[in-house]
């Protein structure tokens, strides 16, 4: 169902890889709600994924960009404004990667070159995106910038590894930059702390199936899907939430406020 919530709004969506990814589902929802956008991903991810299919489906152009490169980001921003014929109203940062996780390095045995690369891609890239947009004065007043995060930034999920630190850093950037973006340009910056979601990135984490099923049994509403997250993101891009900024918003079926649930108790009191 479409409510035309984003009619006439323009933006950039980072990180769509395949139809499981939250960025992909968000792009589809934004399109349904009347928004137009440029899609972007790292050149290597573009070779792996099916982003061209999404571009055709939504009538979007693709601009490859390495989110850790200021030069690539500046080019992305100026080209997007040209393609979309004006400043931007929304941006989704949906990027994360840990080489330590990928290579099976334990949290207590990190390869710090891997750590630095993962931090650059997963967290510092958000600052680079915000700074690029800010300096180029690329956002319309009351625009909305959203990054995706996970609750491992607040609580311990041992196998989430150094991604937990990356997400904590990401959330801090949203608050700190959100102040300046709000004050100077009336632009809001928020993070969505999503339920564990079976995306390509998510499934790279060890014991992920257990993770998902535990969260589902703990949450009164169950886990929020990628599709649910797309809907929530659309609401944050819309004018309905224009006074919401510098927040880390839990989108997790209630998981973040739970201590224990009946189902978990039953599982362990046998």
12 annotated among ligand-binding-site residues: no
DSSP state of 67: T
- Check the annotation: does 185 bind a ligand: no
What are φ and ψ of residue 213, in 5° steps?
-70, -35
Q: In the annotation, is 160 catalytic?
A: yes
| Residue 167 is labelled as binding a ligand | yes
- Report the chain's C-alpha Rg in angstroms: 18
Edge-first strand listing for the sheet containing 10-14: 61-62, 36-40, 10-14, 88-93, 139-149, 188-194, 248-251
Check the CA dihedral 224-192-97-102 and report its sign.
Answer: negative
Euclidean distance between CA atoms 188 and 146, whole angstroms? 8
Is 95 known as a binding-site position?
A: yes
Annotate 157-174 with DSSP letters as a single string.
-GGGTTHHHHHHHHHHHH
In the residue annotation, 112 being an active-site residue is answered as no
Residues 143 and 151: their CA atoms lie apart, in Å, by 25
Cα–Cα distance measured from residue 70 to residue 186, given in angstroms and rounded to the nearest whole number: 24
| Spatial CB neighbours of 169, under 8 Å, sequence gap ≥ 6 | 119, 123, 124
Q: Kindly write down the DSSP assignment for every residue of 207-264, as one continuous string.
A: THHHHHHHHHHHSTT-PPPHHHHHHHHHHHHSGGGTT--S-EEEESTTGGG-S--HHH
Measured distance CA(40)–CA(72) in Å, rounded: 11
206 is in an annotated binding site: no
Q: Which of 134, 160, 169, 179 is catalytic?
A: 160
Of the residues 112, 150, 169, 232, only one is catalytic, namely 150
Could you list the active site residues? 150, 160
Binding residues for NAD(+): 15, 21-22, 95, 167
């Amino acid at each position: 169902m479409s409510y035309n919530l984003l009619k006439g709004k323009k933006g950039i969506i980072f990180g769509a890889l395949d139809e499981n990814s939250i960025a992909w589902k968000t792009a589809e929802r934004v399109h349904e709600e009347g928004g137009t956008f440029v899609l972007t991903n790292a050149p290597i991810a573009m070779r792996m994924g099916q982003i061209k299919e999404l571009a055709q489906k939504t009538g979007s152009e693709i601009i490859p960009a390495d989110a850790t490169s200021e030069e690539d980001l500046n080019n992305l921003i100026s080209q997007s404004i040209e393609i979309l014929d004006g400043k931007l109203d929304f941006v989704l940062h949906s990027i994360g990667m840990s080489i330590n996780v990928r290579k099976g390095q334990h949290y207590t045995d990190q390869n710090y070159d891997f750590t630095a690369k993962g931090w650059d891609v997963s967290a510092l890239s958000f600052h680079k995106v915000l700074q690029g947009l800010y300096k180029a004065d690329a956002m319309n007043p009351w625009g909305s910038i959203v990054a995706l995060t996970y609750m491992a930034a607040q609580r311990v999920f041992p196998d989430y590894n150094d991604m937990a630190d990356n997400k904590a850093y990401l959330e801090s950037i949203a608050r700190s930059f959100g102040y300046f973006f709000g004050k100077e340009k009336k632009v809001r910056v928020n993070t969505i702390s999503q339920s564990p979601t079976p995306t390509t990135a998510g499934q790279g984490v060890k014991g992920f199936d257990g993770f998902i099923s535990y969260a589902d049994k703990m949450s009164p509403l169950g886990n929020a899907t990628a599709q649910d997250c797309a809907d929530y993101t659309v609401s944050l891009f819309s004018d309905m939430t224009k006074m919401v900024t510098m927040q880390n918003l839990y989108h997790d079926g209630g998981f973040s406020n739970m201590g224990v649930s009946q189902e978990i108790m039953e599982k362990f009191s046998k």
